[in-house]
Amino acid sequence: MLDCAAAQFALQVSGRPQAQVTGMHELSIAYQLVEAASNAARQNGAARVTVVHLQLGSFAGVVRDALEFSFGIAAEDTPVAGAQLLIEDVPLTIFCEPCAAEAILPDNRMFRCPRCNTPSSRIVRGRELLLTAIEIEEPHGTPPG
Ligand SMILES: [Zn+2]
């Protein structure tokens, strides 16, 4: 596993209504992911990326299925072609003042603490779209010269 600090990026995703999802959004994200992973592979002298690790918040406004599908398309003819996309789901989490604690929301449309029912808009987690690591094919030997 290769820590992907060099390639780490976070996309700003606005609170886009789910109804607008067409797949084009996911495709453009997939291209950025593939580019970042390709760059990281190059920087580490790897010819091929085998696994791409991604954190995806449930409130990131990204449809997971569409992203997985788009990833395969975006990866074609790149070092990322054929790589596995491993998505770690990040649940939407708010901070509740009265409870002085974080709370995972069961429903993205109800911004209320599930413990005390106090409304809160302090999102702690759940908007992530983060390339966390890639796994690469180890370079076989060193090139002559
Ligand atoms: Zn609470």
CA of 119 to the centre of ligand 1 (A): 8
- Find the mean pLDDT for residues 87-93: 96
Helix H or strand E segment including 88 = strand 84-90
- Find the mean pLDDT for residues 20-47: 86
What is the pTM (predicted TM-score) of this model?
0.76
Measure the CA–CA gap between 43 and 38, rounded to whole angstroms.
9
Would you kindly state where each structural domain of the chain is located, as residue ranges? 2-11+24-90+127-136
Q: Output phi, psi for 86, to 5 deg.
A: -100, 110
> Predicted confidence band at 139 (pLDDT cuts at 50, 70, 90)?
low
CA of 102 to the centre of ligand 1 (A): 8
Name the fold adopted by 2-11+24-90+127-136: hypothetical protein PF0899 fold (3.30.2320)
pLDDT in tens, 39-79: 999 998 999 999 999 999 999 999 999 999 999 999 999 99
CA of 122 to the centre of ligand 1 (A): 12
